[in-house]
Structure 1
Amino acid sequence: MKPIVIYFLVFFTLLVNGQESFSKSIEKAINIVQTQDSTNYKRALNIFDNAFKQYPDSINGIELYYASVVAASLNNRDKAFEYLTPLANMEIDDEGYPGWSNVLDEYANEDYKNLLKDKRWYKLKAKALVDREEYFNNLKVNEKEFFMSSDVELNAKMPSKKLYKKIKSYNPYLSKQQQDYSISLKINDTTNTSYLVHLPKNYNPKKKYVTLIFLHGAVRFSRLEKYRIAQQLLGGWNRFYTKYASIYDVILVFPSANKTYNWMTSDDGFFIIPKIVKQLKSSLNIDDNKIFISGHSNGATGSFSYLIKQPTQFAGFYGFNTKPKVYTGGTFIENTLNRSFINFSTDQDYYYPPNANDSLSKLMDVLSADYSDYRFNGFPHWFPQFDESEPAYKILFSDVINRERNPFSTKITWEFDDNEYGSIDWLTDIKLDTLDTKKSWHQHLNFEIKKELKFNKNDSLVEVNVNKKAFDFPRKSGKIIAEYHNNIFRIKTSCISSFTINISPEMINLKKKVKIYINDKIYYNQRVKYDNDFMLNSFKKNKDRKQIWINSLQFNV
């Protein structure tokens, strides 16, 4: 059956008298259909018929959908087409779906299996195919407009300082014709997904904007959407993101993931968010030091995973009902020292127990990590559904507005177990040496979880005893601790074979020699000069106007 966007929202717009009676009748009929008790389908269809006859001006797409499905299930083809035809001909239904999707999407053949051999179905499908092609052509036109930009000359033959300044002030951006854009994203040669970009109402390409990326949950049960619909993403559970993004002029981004390609359970999809950020930077005037990730449930775990594995592009991370754990490798908790994380937890959450959140907070205090946990008592895992969640969004957006990334932090602590994630800010291309002996200071931090909340046979949430570790460490890892001050870099490594230091004039005095000590031995003692080709290629790779590298130094340990 068609995925329905939180049906109770329909009733927020109830009028009085007739409209209220119509809505009550429709709600009753839909409840019958949703129970999937076919013995009552005739009763449901009669309720639909009577309500439609009495209140013809009140009919919306969701009512037509349910009425057509129940009529088709009863093999009442005339009634089914009576309701399905106007639904299919809608440009956009009240849930934001294009009308043609009711005939062509994957659920349609099951919903309308009794209609598939009817001539009217062939006719309806033929029109739907034309409408779909027009819809996607319009998306392509809008996408092309979204990525339009002006030409800005960046040439490696320019004087070095001039090129550096040109990159820093790079602004090829143009005004946008719309507020919402559904953008396609290629995953591989056969698979695509999409993301929605929601701009501030008066987007100005001369102004730099804060950007917040929201990662959805339930990735195991989600599908890759070929297009994203603003009406579905900006309301409901996300309504407070929309509200406060409007107040503070924040760009919102909503990507789509599934079981195979996502930000939590699979490295096959972990590239999605960094790739989106690079695309956005080619089209929108984004503040490179104010890009953030938030999420709920699996999305919150995804946000935490980017903090642990790939935080360079981001200023801070947030999670609602988070399970703070990396599923694709080790959870190296000291990596949180490079950024920040704010968690919004509840005391009735089956996904991650309150006692575990308390233990994590204590560990973060020991580390002096920039970490906060705000506990909301009396709420289940689906906390964002409730109006009482609004204070959490006030906290989140206050942090978003006031926080900036430090692109040239003077100290970095980084641990990883996959060379794909061996980069953090000015330390890049770090490679593992798993045959090396681990140093004594290279230890894994962990804690025990003794109790969890689970649903029993009566669907009641009860506390159960468990005995598990919070984090897993399935592979051997490498660790590097690096800092710099007054042109002197001091670096410690454990199980690392090589790494690169990227240099910015914001970090050192280019007129003086740079000294680099690795494991207390000096490896470098000379000046660093601009390398224009490297600087330009580096910018083209990451499109970062704040974290600009003018040269790099490679070392084998």
Structure 2
Amino acid sequence: MRAFALKIGLIIFTTLFVLHSPLKGQTNYTKLIDSAYSFYQKKEYSNAGSYYSKSFISNGNLGTQTDRYNSACSWALAEKPDLAFTELNNILSGKGVVSGSGDLTRLYKMLIEDVDFKNLHGDKRWNLIVSKAEEIKNTFLKKLEDNQIEFEAGEFKSMAFSKIKTGKEIYQMIKSFNNFKTKNERNYSIKFKVTDSLNTSYFVCLPKNYNPKKRYSLLFFLHGAVQYNSFTNFQNERVMEGWNRFYTKYAALNNVIMVYPNASKKYNWMNPDDGFFMIPAILKEIKQSINIDDDKVFISGHSNGATGSFSYLMKQQSPFAGFYGFNTQPKVRNGGTFIRNITNRSYFNVSTDEDYYYPPNANDSLNVMMTNLKADYQDHRYIGWPHWFPQFDESEPVYPMIFKDIAGRKRNPFKKDIYWECDNLNYGVADWIKITGLDTLAKPASWKTQLNFNILKLLAYDKNENLIAKDTLLKAFNFPRKSGAVKGSFSNNVFHLEISNIKSFRLLISPEMVDVSRPVVVFVNGVKKLEQKVSYNREFIIKNFKETLDRKAIWIDKIDIAL
């Protein structure tokens, strides 16, 4: 039963892969695989093995690792050990196996636990197969570990601040640092610690001829279907294929670093909030050893991943320059969607008119709202395409537009005008403003209003898989908690802040914003609150830098205001 359960999982995995892999004659291959598995379930093992063989022949003698494994199981149960060992040797050698289609680290455990191979245990070839599988597993894991050590090597995280006396010198040291190491590989799978007992991974693809003296743009891609995903300790090049093939193509053409994080049902970028820390934390890890342009870090995604991208725009935008999404549901799932927060950044939306996840009429209403806000927002609508638009080759024209936007866009953390609203102090920071206390009992200011709209129709598939429109009445955004908001601007060492439902906040100061030799004056709701000098605060600079490893947005001092 245990082996049977394993095969069920493997078959599902294979079906997903075959749909989006470069296999020839996919339709015939898939049909033959389905027939083979049907025979296996009926315990007609010889027929199952024969149909697996036919499927490989139909595909130019290529098969996925999973299908080769299931073929070996079938031949073993059919008491044809020579054919079973042939398939197992094919897997171990990679002969006739689609590149990147399996996980050899799991093979060893499966072999020793799978009762389908019981008939082979007395054969002298069996121990050789098991030993070889264990050797491959150990070699692979050791290489993975060595690659991660090599990837993480660098001087950045161990800058010798103790030898520097003044805050101004430390500021200059951080700003001018450019001593990164060369990298031996282009592609790295990196293990990432989520909790003390739980790990996941992210995959990094560096540009060809990566130059450690040059600062690079970086783009995160957030995958969808987070409710059905689980963590993996490593990833391989397959993440660059399939639906992500055009990211791979155009990132290479534009010398952009691609990063593919892996989320789970509990720890992700959408809901619940437990995993929202991951993307900024992964970015910080990468900055320790890779020369990233801090003003050119971006997030994109599809479906749940696009909702994640939009959520970072709404909740934690400071480290990022711009946001992109295919088939987005533009909504924060575990808090308020404070749509005015977009005015500090941008969003590039790719929508389709046959999307059950977010209907076209809702996108139309959102477009009107964004126009009224004068937001930097684009909606590129594609007609006649479903939610899974990136699967199709016809989606390719979008990607040159995305990478052109990336090339021409950079973050400005010292923007003279800012708006920020939050209902959770964990997400109270936007560039140079930090909300440190909320006063949700006070009457809101007249300018602090909730922006929302009604969604009147949803799209859904009926039992015949026809897409139909259904009448509904939903609000686009939820507001489960009361919030506080601030509007701010600065010029000539004078800050003007309008606040609503806030009892305390902090201004983060950069020499890019003020003349440090002169006092800074702060007005709150039209009333002068203070006038004071700022300085290159040595300890504050170090503390903030260690939190973000940002070489551009370097805060030298702070001004705390309590109301």
Q: Could you tell me the TM-score, scaled by structure 1's length?
A: 0.91
2:17 match: 6
1:143 match: 148
Over 3 Å counting, the alpha-carbon distance change for 1:285 and 1:354 in structure 2 is same
Q: Distance in 1 between matches of 2:59 and 2:528?
A: 83
Q: Contact (CA 8 Å) 2:108, 2:137: kept in 1 or not?
A: no
Over 3 Å counting, the alpha-carbon distance change for 1:397 and 1:109 in structure 2 is farther
Deviation (angstroms), 1:486: 1.2
Deviation (angstroms), 1:263: 0.2
1:317 match: 323
2:480 match: 474
| Alignment counterpart, residue 190 of structure 2, candidates 183, 202, 214 | 183
The alignment partner of 1:541 has SS state of helix
Over 3 Å counting, the alpha-carbon distance change for 1:308 and 1:382 in structure 2 is same
| Alignment counterpart, residue 502 of structure 1, candidates 501, 504, 508 | 508
| 1:38 and 2:49 are equivalent in the alignment | no
Deviation (angstroms), 1:211: 0.2
Q: Distance in 2 between matches of 1:59 and 1:537?
A: 53
Letter in 1 for 2:50: N
Letter in 1 for 2:175: K
2:227 match: 220
The alignment partner of 1:268 has SS state of helix
The count of aligned residue pairs is 545
The alignment partner of 1:181 has SS state of strand
Over 3 Å counting, the alpha-carbon distance change for 1:487 and 1:75 in structure 2 is farther
Deviation (angstroms), 1:518: 1.4
Over 3 Å counting, the alpha-carbon distance change for 1:483 and 1:74 in structure 2 is farther
The alignment partner of 1:6 has SS state of helix
Q: Distance in 1 between matches of 2:112 and 2:362?
A: 45
1:39-438 matched pairs, under 5 angstroms: 39=42, 43-49=47-53, 61=65, 63-68=67-72, 70-71=74-75, 79-88=83-92, 90=94, 94-104=99-109, 112-115=114-117, 119=121, 124=129, 127-150=132-155, 152-155=159-162, 157-230=164-237, 232-438=238-444
Deviation (angstroms), 1:123: 7.0
Q: Contact (CA 8 Å) 2:175, 2:552: kept in 1 or not?
A: yes
Deviation (angstroms), 1:89: 5.3
Deviation (angstroms), 1:197: 0.5
Q: Distance in 2 between matches of 1:74 and 1:440?
A: 78
2:539 match: 533
Deviation (angstroms), 1:79: 4.8
Deviating more after overlay: 171-180 vs 434-443:
434-443
The CA RMSD over aligned residues, in Å, is 2.7
Could you list the runs of 5+ residues in structure 1 that have no partner in the other structure? 15-19
Over 3 Å counting, the alpha-carbon distance change for 1:365 and 1:34 in structure 2 is farther
Deviation (angstroms), 1:412: 1.4
| Alignment counterpart, residue 447 of structure 1, candidates 436, 453, 471 | 453
The alignment partner of 1:187 has SS state of strand
Question: After superposition, what is the alpha-carbon deviation per residue over 1:107-166, rounded to whole angstroms, capped at 9, x for unaligned?
Answer: x899x4533686377875565344323322211111110111136543474344332221
Could you list the runs of 5+ residues in structure 2 that have no partner in the other structure? 1-8
Q: Could you tell me the TM-score, scaled by structure 2's length?
A: 0.90
Q: Contact (CA 8 Å) 1:210, 1:291: kept in 2 or not?
A: yes
Deviation (angstroms), 1:288: 0.3
Over 3 Å counting, the alpha-carbon distance change for 1:11 and 1:273 in structure 2 is closer
Letter in 1 for 2:88: L
Letter in 1 for 2:121: K
* Identical-residue share of aligned pairs (%): 42
The alignment partner of 1:473 has SS state of coil
Deviation (angstroms), 1:378: 1.0
Q: Distance in 2 between matches of 1:357 and 1:553?
A: 40
Deviation (angstroms), 1:425: 0.7
Q: Contact (CA 8 Å) 1:32, 1:41: kept in 2 or not?
A: no
Deviating more after overlay: 131-140 vs 221-230:
131-140
Over 3 Å counting, the alpha-carbon distance change for 1:36 and 1:221 in structure 2 is farther
2:6 match: none
Question: After superposition, what is the alpha-carbon deviation per residue over 1:417-440, rounded to whole angstroms, capped at 9, x for unaligned?
Answer: 111111111112522223333222
Deviation (angstroms), 1:10: 5.1
Letter in 2 for 1:141: D
